[in-house]
């Protein structure tokens, strides 16, 4: 399969000179099984450019089909959808997968895609759209690709996905906090808790289960894309924001026996030079610890081939 990064940024798009090399668009990754329809993970602003590229193919003639796996519906993961050109062409088939909510998924997406926030309602899209609500741990197939998922530690709950096809596995883990300090769900956490206080046993057990689920999902992955919005020091100031850091990502990659770890969901104010420095630091760490996996950092336009092409 081929993998291409269209948006690598967390929280909010950040145009400007300081972010030109890594890119300022929010989360969006395209996965292309050999000869298959695109599987898109997340619909941040990177989706706009991907949509334009797809219009050069069958989607431009209304003969395209794509699946979009949504990790969660926070803005930076859905805000590109109204600007996805294939939706505006009759005949295209777009199916959207996301974790189930109290309301129907189509209603959730309609809320961002229509008045008073956007001039064109979701119901006016010309393409055929289908919404599939996923329960935690859902497994399903898209063509030859096997999709599995598990829950992440993030406010309002996010899903991680594993895509297995062409003899390779890609795992996408964004957004998540580490599984050590705080259980994030539907409660709003006003203030950062003390990280040194012991956790209630139930919470610790729930987090341990979640961590085991992520490690199992990432077992032997050829590519593990992981939320590293924070540095360790930044994480300690904002553990309740639901994002992780490279030290934690490396621990997960090591436990899972992943072959390549990709730092992802870069903080909005992180400059290209900052990202270079973080990458160099952790490539150094992995070289010293003798870990066998490679550490890379996601940037817009990065293309990787996994397994049989």
The one among 34, 101, 132, 146 contacting other proteins by CB under 8 A: 101
Q: Does 111 bind other proteins (CB under 8 A)?
A: yes
CB nearer other proteins, residue 117 or residue 288: 117
| Phi, psi angles (nearest 5°) of residue 239 | -65, -20
The one among 34, 37, 83, 272 contacting other proteins by CB under 8 A: 83
Q: Does 74 bind other proteins (CB under 8 A)?
A: yes
Q: Does 24 bind other proteins (CB under 8 A)?
A: yes
Tokens of 229: 């919005």
CB nearer other proteins, residue 136 or residue 294: 136
**Cβ at position 176, least distance to other proteins in Å:** 13
Q: Does 266 bind other proteins (CB under 8 A)?
A: no
Stretch that binds other proteins, among 33-41, 182-190, 210-218, 252-260 (CB under 8 A): 182-190
Q: Does 23 bind other proteins (CB under 8 A)?
A: yes
Give the residue carrying structure tokens 């998924």. Answer: 105
**Cβ at position 136, least distance to other proteins in Å:** 17
Tokens of 15: 């145009």
Tokens of 168: 């390779």
Q: Does 4 bind other proteins (CB under 8 A)?
A: no
Tokens of 63: 């003969």
Alpha helix ranges (H) inside the chain: 46-55, 105-112, 201-217, 232-237, 246-256, 272-289
C-beta separation of 169 from 157 below 8 A: no
CB nearer other proteins, residue 32 or residue 243: 243
CB nearer other proteins, residue 143 or residue 185: 185
Q: Following CA atoms 138, 155, 131, 7 in sequence, which dihedral angle do they give, to the nearest 10 degrees? A: -100
Q: Dump the DSSP string for 140-194.
A: EEETTEEEEEEE-SSTT--EEEEEEETTEEEEEE-S---SSS---SSS---SPPP
**Cβ at position 42, least distance to other proteins in Å:** 14
Q: What is the size of the binding site for other proteins (CB under 8 A)? A: 42
Closest to 172 measured CA to CA, from 161, 187, 180, 183: 161
Q: Does 182 bind other proteins (CB under 8 A)?
A: no
Q: Does 140 bind other proteins (CB under 8 A)?
A: no
CB within 8 Å of 243: residues ≥ 6 apart? 10, 175, 176, 177, 227, 228, 229, 230, 235, 265
The one among 38, 155, 213, 246 contacting other proteins by CB under 8 A: 155
Stretch that binds other proteins, among 72-80, 213-221, 249-257, 272-280 (CB under 8 A): 72-80
CB nearer other proteins, residue 188 or residue 233: 188
Q: Does 269 bind other proteins (CB under 8 A)?
A: yes
Task: State CA 147 to chain mean position distance.
Answer: 14
How many C-beta atoms lie closer than 10 Å to residue 113's C-beta? 21
**Cβ at position 200, least distance to other proteins in Å:** 23
Q: Which residues lie near other proteins (CB under 8 A)? A: 9, 11-17, 19-20, 23-25, 45, 48, 73-75, 78-80, 82-83, 101, 108, 111-112, 115-119, 155-156, 186, 188, 190, 241-242, 268-269, 300
């Amino acid at each position: 399969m081929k993998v291409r990064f269209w948006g690598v940024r967390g929280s909010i798009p950040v145009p400007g000179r300081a972010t030109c090399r890594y890119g300022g668009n929010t989360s969006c990754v395209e996965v292309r099984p050999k000869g298959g329809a695109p599987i898109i993970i997340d619909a941040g602003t990177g989706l706009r450019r991907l949509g334009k590229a797809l219009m050069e193919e069958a989607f431009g003639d209304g003969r395209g089909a794509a699946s979009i796996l949504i990790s969660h519906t926070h803005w930076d993961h859905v805000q590109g959808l109204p600007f996805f050109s294939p939706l505006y062409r009759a005949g295209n088939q777009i199916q959207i997968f996301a974790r189930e909510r109290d309301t129907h998924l189509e209603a959730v997406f309609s809320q961002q895609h229509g008045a008073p926030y956007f001039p064109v309602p979701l119901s006016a899209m010309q393409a055929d759209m289908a919404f599939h609500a996923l329960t935690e741990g859902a497994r399903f197939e898209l063509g030859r690709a096997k999709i599995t998922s598990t829950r992440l530690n993030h406010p309002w709950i996010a899903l991680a996905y594993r895509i297995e096809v062409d003899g390779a596995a890609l795992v996408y883990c964004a957004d998540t906090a580490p599984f050590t300090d705080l259980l994030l769900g539907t409660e709003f956490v006003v203030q950062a808790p003390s990280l040194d206080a012991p956790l209630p046993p139930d919470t610790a057990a729930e987090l341990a289960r979640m961590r085991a689920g992520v490690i199992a999902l990432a077992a032997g992955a050829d590519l593990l894309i992981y939320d590293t919005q924070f540095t360790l020091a930044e994480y300690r100031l904002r553990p309740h924001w639901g994002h992780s850091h490279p030290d934690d990502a490396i621990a997960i990659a090591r436990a899972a026996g992943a072959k390549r770890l990709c730092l992802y969901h870069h903080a909005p104010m992180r400059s290209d030079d900052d990202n270079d420095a973080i990458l160099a630091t952790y490539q150094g760490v992995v070289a010293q610890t003798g870990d066998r996996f490679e550490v890379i950092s996601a940037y817009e336009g990065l293309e990787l081939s996994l397994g049989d092409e």
